Structure formats: structure tokens, C-alpha cells
Amino acid sequence: MLKAKLCLADKKGVLVIKKLDGNKFAKMIISGANNLYNNKQTVDDLNVFPVPDGDTGTNMSLTAMAMVDGLKSADIKSISKAADIMAYATLRGARGNSGVILSQFFRGISKNLKGKESVTPAEFADALEEGSKAAYKAVMKPTEGTILTVSREAALGAIEGAKSGELETAMLECVTRGNEALLKTTQMLPALQEAGVVDAGGQGWMFVLEGALSFLKTGKVIKSKAPKVQPPKKQVENAQAKVTGNIKFKYCTEFIIEKKRKGTKVDNFREAIKPKGNCMLVIDDDDVVKVHIHTNHPGFVLEEAIKLGEIINLKVDNMKRQHHSLINKDKKEDEPQPQVTVKEKKTAVKKEAVKKEEPKKRLSKKEELKEFGFVSVCAGRGMADILTNLGVDKVVEGGQSMNPSTHDIVKAITRVKAKTVFVFPNNKNIIMAANQAIDLIGNKKVIVIPSVNIPQCIRALMDFNPNKDTEYNEKRMTKALAKVKAGQITYAVRNTEIDGKAIKKGDILGLFGSDIEYISRDLDDVLVEMIADSVDEDTEYVTVYYGKDVKRQTVQRMEKLLSDKYADDEIEVSFKRGGQPLYYYIISVE
């Protein structure tokens, strides 16, 4: 009887959808997400820049697959419910700028479909348009010729096609107009025109729409062809073991509350469960509440939750058992500790002096929070050790080609026992995900310092003053970002031409910011030349962080060469083990 209301049969016996319910909508989106996942390498290959961080397809697909996980595990009774799950899953799972934009698109769709059991093709097309508008608003300076243009034009195509009253026709027009807009992106942006490619993000979105259309045409969900991308096994085990090494609260408890009454405040619930654990997230979203907490009393938490409404999507994991299973496996060998420069020694002495002057904390059952804490994103064991030594509380693994999700950043923030947490993204493609994490934290102040590289982060940490207030430190650390010159040396992953410069696969590339300034086949030459062009009469320190692919004998040779070269200028040159992948050297000049 329900199907008869939602569909009509054409002459060939094929179901023609006149109304879209939550179940079919979920299958459409899963089909689209799987299609994107299956074609993520195609999207990655469209990245114009030849450096090894072309990860638009990877970021978008991992964001979309977080949504698939949410939809598959839920009992979907309405299109509003499906849309809400989509928005929540992509918000937390968003990776990189492309993933964040994708999450905002689904958030816009969700708001438009709020409270609806099912929708007509015209109503669904309106939701696509609202999603496009939300994506535009998420970008500080929207650029035409990107995924924004493609999503807008695709939505307009859906609106036109929806006049037929049939969903498949609406989606067909959506895909047709979207692909037309995608082809035009090549001419809209000079970088795309020079490389002769379409916009990567726009192509990713079209794979989603084409996968959704495929489901409407065939009634079958496209299957993902390969397992999801996972970090190396050892990497996961070591990270988890480090995080859960001292477990005070055993049970990671996650669930959603469907409120009895829309608009009910959750303050009492939040305060009731707060003393029972840590890493707490209570996100109030009108008619549902998302809850995450580490606790020894999940029963108490659930008893309090049912006072608000019905519990769904419940998951309780015993983290202590998970930890024991990890630490019993082979452990990674310890690497040498990084050397400390004169500059860092001075900073450490200063911080230790301040620390000694601070009054000792009184022991109490209720754990006290310090005033300030720090979260930083980086790749490489050496980099993580350096940042930890400078006072960073939690390091989120990530960087080029491995952008962490919003959820990864949120988890790190919640584990920092401080009233105010400063977050350093250290990559321009992670800043949006970091800013998005702010909305998911309710029990502490979070400030993102928009660092785009590790040297900026380190300089900002050195300028932090624990005796000053939050506003002072935010301004001071943000200002510090401009006080350091940072360069990176990597290699070309493809043949291309940038700004008239011919680049061949395997070339050594020297970058300042987003600009490729040096191209050579010799790594030593690029390093020497970049430093020579960076130092001036005011330079005091040159620090080179070497990656995991640079041999120790090469480091010793280059350190002696450069130290001797700048000895008369009284410039301290030091090499430190960063252990970062993909980038041979990261250079800091101050």
C-alpha cells in the first residue's frame, strides 16, 4: 500500500518515483557515495598541483563513506531522519576543504528536509538548491569554476527536471546540467585551463549524483569495489595504544536521543552525566541529541538519556580491552630523540621558570582544568616529539595527503584537560575542518590559530605567554605566524607546466607557500638555494626538519656544509628529525 502511494508503474512495469521516502533516499546517497569512492583516484589525479598531496578524491570519498556507515546502521523511517544522519556523519567525518564543503552541502539539504516523511521531486530539487547555498556560505571567498559552481548548476537542472513530476527525470536533468557546468570549469580558472583538466571537487560531486541516478534507473545500489582507505596497521595500533595507555574511564559510549518534545533543553542532562566521565560531547540539534562520553557508568548515562527521549544508534566499546589487545602486539622500535636548538632551550627554560612560579594544584576528586591547552596536526614521529616538547597536549596525525577528519580534531580537543584549547591545523587544507570542530565542542573554548605549516606553529608556541589572557595570546600567536619564512621541498608526481615552467615527474620541487619557486633534479642544490634566498641580515636561526626518506649521512653532510657557510653571519643552522612523509625537508628561517 505504501509503495502505491510513493510510486506509479509505467508501461514497462518499471517503478516511476513520484515521491521520495527516507529508505530510497538513503539508497540513492549510498549508491552515490560508493560511486565516488570507486572513482576517488580519478578525482585525485585531477589536482592541478604536481606535488604529492592531490587528495581531493580521497578526502571527499572518506567524508562520504562516513555518511554511508551512518545510514547503514540506522533505522530510517523518514527522509528527514535520513538527511539528519547524513548531515551529522559528514559533519564529523569531513576531511580537507573539499570534505568540509561536501558536509555543508548535506547540512543544507538536511535543514530543508527537516520534519518531512517524504518529498516530491520538486521538493527534493529545492533541497539540492539549499545544499548548494549552504556550501557557498561555508567558503569565506567563494570561487566560481569549482564544486560550488557545479553544485549550483546541478541543482538548477534538478529544479527544471522536477517539473515533470518524476524523480528520475529530475535527477537526469540534474546530472546533465551539472556535467555541462563541470566541463566549463576548465575555462573558468586559469590553472585548470593550463593543465587541461576539470575541477576535482566538481568531478567528485558529479560522481555522487551519477551514482544516485544509477540507483533510480536500475533499483540497485552501486557497491564499493575496494576496502576503505585505512592508515597503516602499525600506525593505528601505536596511536591507539598511546591514547588509551592510561584509561580512567573504560566505556566509550555513543548514541542519539530522539527527543520526546522538540526544543527541550539538554543542560540538565549534560550536567548530570558530566561528573561520570570525560571526552564528553552533547550536541543539541533541535529534535535529536548526539552524545559521546567515556565513562565507567554507561547505565547511569542511558538512564538520564531516556528522560529526554528514545535512544537510537547505541554503541558501547570497552576501551581497556581494546588497548590490551593492541599493546600485546609487536611495538614500534623507539627512534632517537630530536636535538634541541639554542632557541628552544631558551624557551623551555622560560616555560619551566613560569611553571615553578605557579601554585601547586590541590588534589581533589573532581579533576581541575588548566587554563590553556594545545592541539596540533602534524605528520612524522619526530615532528610529534618536537611539538610535545613545546607544550602541545595532543597531536593529531595528518598533513599532506592524509588530512584528519573534523571528528579526529574534536576527539583530540575533548581529551585536553583545559578551559581554552588552541588548535594549530598546520595545513591550509585542514583549517576548515578545524574551524568546523568548534561547533561540536560545548564545554570549553576552542580557538583555531590558522597556521599553514609546522614552522608557523612552532613560532606561535614560542610566543605564547601563560601569564596573559586568552585574547592576548590569540592575537600574539596569530601575529607570530608572519614572523617565520617557511619552505618545503618535495618531488613532482606528474609531468605538467605551471606558470610557464615545465615540470617532469620526479623533479625536486622547492615551495614557498603555494608557489613552486625551484625545480631541479638535485635535492642538495634546491636546499642550498632556498636557504640562500631566504636569509637576510636579520636572520638568526635556520632550522631544517628532515623527512623519513632522507638518509642520516646526507643530513650530517648538509648540516656541516650550511653551518660552515653561515658561521661568519652568526646564523645558527640546525637539522632536526621530522620524520614527515612525502616532503624531504621543511625549512624554517627566522
439 Cβ neighbours under 8 A, 6+ residues apart? none
3-class DSSP string for 44-102: HCCCCCCCCCCCHHHHHHHHHHHHHHHHHCCCCCCHHHHHHHHHHHHHHHCEHHHHHHH
**CATH architecture observed for domain 233-327:** 2-Layer Sandwich (3.30)
Looking at residue 228, its pLDDT comes to: 46
Summarize the confidence of residues 400-406 as an average pLDDT. Answer: 82
pTM exceeds 0.85: no
- Enumerate the domain spans of the chain: 17-218, 233-327, 342-354+367-483, 485-589
As a whole number of Å, the end-to-end CA separation of the chain is: 73
The strand pairing partners of 255, in sequence order, are 291
Q: Which fold has domain 485-589?
A: Hypothetical Protein Tm841; Chain: A;domain 3 (3.30.1180)
**CATH architecture observed for domain 17-218:** Alpha Horseshoe (1.25)
Residue 501 pLDDT grade (very low, low, confident, very high; cuts 50, 70, 90): confident
Concatenated DSSP letters for 361-381? PPP-SSPPPEEEEEEEEE-SH
Residue 330 pLDDT grade (very low, low, confident, very high; cuts 50, 70, 90): very low
> What is d(CA 581, CA 99) in angstroms, rounded to the nearest whole number?
22
**Identity of the residue numbered 101:** I
Label the pairing between strands 418-424 and 370-378. parallel
| pLDDT value at 96 more than 80 | yes
As a whole number of Å, the CA-based R_g of the chain is: 26
Please name the helix (run of DSSP H) or strand (run of DSSP E) that holds residue 280, with its range, or none.
strand 277-285
The superfamily (CATH) of domain 342-354+367-483 is Phosphotransferase system, mannose-type IIA component (3.40.50.510)
Cell 570519498 belongs to 61
- Eight-class DSSP state of 403: P
**Among 177-186, 201-210, 260-269, which stretch is predicted with the lowest mean pLDDT?**
260-269
Summarize the confidence of residues 501-520 as an average pLDDT. Answer: 88
| pLDDT value at 68 more than 70 | yes
Q: Cα torsion for 133, 191, 64, 454, to the nearest 10°? A: -110
| pLDDT value at 345 more than 70 | no
Looking at residue 16, its pLDDT comes to: 66
The strand pairing partners of 277, in sequence order, are 295
Looking at residue 284, its pLDDT comes to: 65
CA 570 to chain centre: 41
**Among 232-236, 329-333, 344-348, which stretch is predicted with the lowest mean pLDDT?**
232-236
